[in-house]
Structure 1
Amino acid sequence: MQESKKSAILEFFGLILGCISMSVGINAFLKPHTIAPGGLSGLSVVLNKVTGIPVSVIMLIIGVPLVLLTFKIMGVKNSMKTLFGTLLFSFMVQATDGLSRMNLTHDALLSAIAGAVLIGLALGIMFKVDASTGGTDLIALILSKKFPNLKPTQFMSCLDGMVVISAGIVNRSIETALYSGLALFIIVKIADIVMEGFESSKAFFIISEKEEELRSAITSELDRGLTIINARGGYTNQNKDLFLVVLNNKRQENGLKKLVKRIDPKAFLIVTDVHEVLGNGFKEIE
């Protein structure tokens, strides 16, 4: 019960912080140049340019019906949570609307970067605490139910692309579309960094004829653990041991490559990026 209460408080504050950061990014940097990096907020910026209706009002007109349409899909609890996020976000956008008339910078490129960083930070924080403000992901969810052969992410990519292109059309400038695309790219990257951190991990898969010597060197010289997987060669049909070593230290990564080359220059080595590593010796499981 205590853990559930703590999670709800974190989610609430994360949602507020995220809504403030996104609202500032939209009004202070993106809206003045009609930069629309996808999503409901980007679509609202485009429609605001065409109709003159406030961004916050457009977000409510589109966002609230979308949440109501997905009640059966998401369930009452998640739908109510998303509805609250939609209303709060619209309120924050309206509350910070004055920033769009302050002309903080006349440089569209700097505006695209600054706005994208603020929105990326906001999305990362909200993803981290499992908060939501609805938006085009709800449209993608509805469409994926109608067309089950296509994934929601595919619909989201199409919708974001259409918003980016429409920004260039209404502003009659290909540069606006390019800035919007750049902002979308930055948003995704910043959100990923907030979610996963700056840590970079790599997984090494090693096949060697000098198995015992290599195993001993990895555990003693590098002071790292490893997992031994029973494998069989598809060409030779012979049983082999496959070593799996996961490292999150650049120096150790280079050290492992040199170690393998020293012990068995003919070893077979596969190196791949690892999305996230949790557990003993790495980041704790949250």
Structure 2
Amino acid sequence: MKNSKLKFTDIFVLLIGCFLMSISINMFFDPHDIAPGGLTGVSILVSTLTGIPIWLINISVDIPLFLFAYRILSKKDSLKTVLGIIFLTTSLKITENFSNIHITDDVLLSAISGAIIMGISLGLIFRINGSTGGTDLIGLLANKFMPNLSVPMLMGCADAVVVIFSGIVSRNIEIALYSAISLYIIVKVSDIMVEGINTSSSFTIISDKYEEIGQSITDELERGATILKGEGFYTNKEKNVLLVVVSKKEVVTLKKLVKSIDENAFIIITDIFEALGEGFKPI
């Protein structure tokens, strides 16, 4: 049986993530009616229409969602979700008056700044597999009725609906566009927080001087190289292909090294999502 207990570090990260999220909502999004998807976006829209505090709307919707999704979640995920809901609701209440702090009148700047902070907060929460409720629970529940659609796709649809309604509620199409910009930035920043910035490139090198190039790579860059067996489509001649993975800062050096040995070499350079193993991040 898997351990259902939470580490203190996970709880601390979840708390920091929820606090940052509340700052982005109350200080940047709410003053301009920007609703970049998610249950927090719904809370902003409802608060704009009714005047009910965001924290109260958030917990009022989150609790029923959690109760419906409880059987789908594991004990550990359930505990993280409950803590996430409590931390976010409390943080939203604590930072409620932050909307009165004048930062900027520029809506675009608020949308970008709030999105960056929100993206960082979500990235922290995702790194510990945490949750604050909201559209991820909606996605899980909807997936039970529409199994042909993935949870991320359903979450994306829910976010898109919120963004559209932000323009309807505010009666300003620009607000919907600002909300869409915020949502895009949030997704990108949270992805970087979770996966890290791409720092590696893969070289596929086709050259008759592959042995000399491979030896130079080993001696000068101290990188390994793999020989792949290939065959020319038109010539039907066997070709040895070198596969090398290097860091971004070594890309230029490797190109120069190959050129110095064989100017007629054929090189394909590909960005790598992630490289694990010796010389890179540990698995």
TM-score, normalising length from structure 2?
Answer: 0.91
1:222, distance to aligned residue in structure 2 (A): 2.5
Give per-residue Cα distances to partners, 1:226-284, cap 9 Å, x unaligned.
Answer: 2223344555555433322111133x201212222333333332211111222221223
* Cα distance change, pair 185–208 in 1 and its aligned pair in 2 (3 A): same
Mapped contact 2:45–2:169 kept (Cα < 8 A): yes
Aligned to 2:159: 160
Mapped contact 1:68–1:79 kept (Cα < 8 A): no
Question: 1:64 and 1:236 mapped to 2: Cα distance?
Answer: 67
* Cα distance change, pair 163–240 in 1 and its aligned pair in 2 (3 A): same
Q: Figure out how many residues of one structure are paired with residues of the other and give that number.
A: 281
Aligned to 1:227: 226
Question: 2:83 and 2:173 mapped to 1: Cα distance?
Answer: 36
1:99, distance to aligned residue in structure 2 (A): 1.0
Percent same amino acid among aligned pairs?
A: 47
Amino acid at match of 1:91: T
Alignment of 1:1-286 (within 5 A): 8-198=7-197, 200-233=199-232, 238-250=237-249, 252-285=250-283
Mapped contact 1:120–1:190 kept (Cα < 8 A): yes
Question: 1:12 and 1:234 mapped to 2: Cα distance?
Answer: 57
Partner-residue secondary structure (3-state), 2:208: coil
Mapped contact 1:19–1:88 kept (Cα < 8 A): yes
Mapped contact 1:14–1:131 kept (Cα < 8 A): no
1:23, distance to aligned residue in structure 2 (A): 0.4
Query: In angstroms, what is the RMSD of aligned CA positions?
Result: 2.2
1:127, distance to aligned residue in structure 2 (A): 1.6
TM-score, normalising length from structure 1?
Answer: 0.90
Partner-residue secondary structure (3-state), 1:74: coil
1:44, distance to aligned residue in structure 2 (A): 1.1
Bigger shift: 98-107 or 179-188? Answer: 98-107
Question: 2:47 and 2:232 mapped to 1: Cα distance?
Answer: 62
Question: 1:69 and 1:267 mapped to 2: Cα distance?
Answer: 60
1:32, distance to aligned residue in structure 2 (A): 0.7
Mapped contact 1:199–1:248 kept (Cα < 8 A): no
Mapped contact 1:23–1:93 kept (Cα < 8 A): yes
